[in-house]
Amino acid sequence: MILSVRGNEGGLPLVHEDDLARAFFKVIVEDHPGPFNIDAGLLSGRDVARILGKRTFALPWRLAGLIADLGFRLGLSRFSSHWVALGRHPLYIDTRKAAGELGWRPTRSPEEAFRELVESVRNSHRRAGGER
């Protein structure tokens, strides 16, 4: 089961590493000054659960934080309440400056990036001798 934070149906921003590297490359090689927001869009807890073939359950953020800290302290989870706090509200990132000044646009959706991440993690576990 995937626990999510109630009230953040939008999710968290996600970008594929290749898209991020392409943005860094353009900034450095083309010498663009200033900060740029890089993001491909939001991936919700429901999307994550669907991709992983799990069910999702939305909790109030304080309860989700307590459960996350308990799981973290017991070694059952890699995620503490700090991660839950990040998911309390949708985080919208304005990438118009990157699009306008760098000509940057993501080539992969947040879902594609997450699916690739999951496959990579599963493959690394297989190579290490553990199935997940």
pLDDT in tens, 99-110: 999 999 999 999
- The predicted pLDDT at position 18 comes to 97
CA dihedral (44, 90, 62, 45) in degrees, to 10, reads 0
- The predicted pLDDT at position 130 comes to 61
Mark the ranges of the chain whose per-residue pLDDT is less than 50.
none
- The predicted pLDDT at position 28 comes to 94
- The predicted pLDDT at position 53 comes to 94
Are 93 and 23 a contacting pair, CB within 8 Å? no
- The predicted pLDDT at position 51 comes to 94
- Residue 114 CA to residue 120 CA, distance in Å, equals 10
| Dihedral sign (CA 11, 17, 22, 26) | positive
| Dihedral sign (CA 6, 8, 11, 12) | negative
- The predicted pLDDT at position 24 comes to 95
- The predicted pLDDT at position 54 comes to 94
Q: What is the pTM of this model?
A: 0.77
